[in-house]
Amino acid sequence: MNQTAIGARIKQRRKELKLTQEQLADLANLTQAAIAKIERGGATRHITDIAKALGVDTNWLVYGEEAENTPTSGYWPFKIARLHDFESLSAAKRHELDVRLADFIAGAIETKRTA
């Protein structure tokens, strides 16, 4: 594993999403210092968490290869809302939508249990 290349891909994707290191750290449950170290080529055992936060496949982060049958920007389960539109939002708006969606899903699950 080339740690420098992994760090460069993490930084590249973070910048594409217009996220700060601190925002990525929050999404991946890490510290800003940890993200900075990883982006400089430091080893990490948090590849899965970072990949999930960035919406990319772990194979791309580690090897620079896309997984078969996965969209370039990662998994996107929605048919009407477009990933490109979501990615064009500010980090704060994306986070707000993420929180709202999580609340909506939690409410739907609770409704299903009581029905």
* Residue 47: CB atoms within 10 Å: 16
| In a shared domain, residues 40 and 59 | yes
Q: What letter represents residue 89's amino acid?
A: L
86 and 108: one domain? yes
61 and 42 together in one domain = yes
Q: What is the value of pTM for the model shown?
A: 0.60
Check whether residue 63 and residue 11 sit in a common domain: yes
Q: What does pLDDT average to over the chain?
A: 84
pLDDT of residue 70: 43
Q: Which domain holds residue 83?
A: 76-115
Instruction: Say whether both 80 and 68 belong to one domain.
Output: no
In angstroms and rounded to an integer, the radius of gyration of the C-alpha atoms of the chain is: 15
Residue 64, pLDDT score: 86
Question: Does 68 share its domain with 86?
Answer: no
| Alpha carbons 54 and 27: distance in angstroms, whole number | 8
Residues 54 and 105 reside in one and the same domain:
no
DSSP notation for 68-94: TT--TT-----SSS-HHHHHTS-HHHH
The predicted structure's pLDDT at residue 66 = 65
**Number of domains the chain is built from:** 2
